[in-house]
Amino acid sequence: MNPLLENKSSVFSAIKNRRSVRHFSKEPVSDDLVDQILESGLWAPSGKNNQPWKFAILRDETLKASLSTFTHYGQVIRSASVCIAVFLDHTRVYDRTKDVQAVGASIQNMLLTIHALGLGGVWLGEILKNKEKVAELLGAQKEWELMAVIAFGHPLKIPNHSGERDSLQEKVFLRR
């Protein structure tokens, strides 16, 4: 197969087969893998290439336990080997909508890489209700706004459903 096509199909397969994983084994995730995941976050597109993201990497059990108190999904954070807190850096912002979209692209890149590496992870947004407390806990600068926490590790339980999405028919309103 043409390597270009093969690559494209593996991207599509990762997009379709990735599921949110919320149960992890105790097996550690190496620093090399964490760096690959972060690197994929760096390579997201951003408006004017302004790269408005900042990352905090959490492995420490005590720190994760403190973070876990700020969300209903605390058990997911405690059981994950690693969490990445993703911030929007307001010193880089030029258009809030576009900058938030760019951070979302960075998060999705990382989730896809987590999946492609045989790991599992989940995008946690509910914790944003306590974004100021999280920023304080992690020693973030005041210009950095929490956008999400990604919790990941070696999957213990991979959801056995293939995911549910509305049909294209429902979503496409114009094709001409």
Ligand X SMILES: Cc1cc2nc3c(=O)[nH]c(=O)nc-3n(C[C@H](O)[C@H](O)[C@H](O)COP(=O)(O)O)c2cc1C
Q: Is residue 13 a contact residue for ligand X (CB under 6 A)?
A: no
Q: Is residue 75 a contact residue for ligand X (CB under 6 A)?
A: no
Out of 103, 110, 117, 122, name the contact with ligand X by CB under 6 A.
122
Sign of the Cα pseudo-torsion (36, 23, 107, 175, in order): positive
Out of 19, 59, 78, 90, name the contact with ligand X by CB under 6 A.
19
- Pairing between strand 120-124 and 144-153? antiparallel
Nearer to ligand X, 5 or 126 (CB): 126
Q: Is residue 47 a contact residue for ligand X (CB under 6 A)?
A: no
Q: Is residue 56 a contact residue for ligand X (CB under 6 A)?
A: no
Out of 14, 73, 133, 138, name the contact with ligand X by CB under 6 A.
73
d(CA 89, CA 103): 10
Out of 38, 78, 92, 123, name the contact with ligand X by CB under 6 A.
123
Q: Provide the minimum distance between the beta carbon of 5 and ligand X in the complex, in angstroms, as a whole number.
A: 25
d(CA 143, CA 123): 22
Q: How many residues belong to the site for ligand X (CB under 6 A)?
A: 10
Q: Is residue 126 a contact residue for ligand X (CB under 6 A)?
A: yes
Residues forming contacts to ligand X in the complex (CB under 6 A) are: 19-20, 22, 73, 122-126, 163
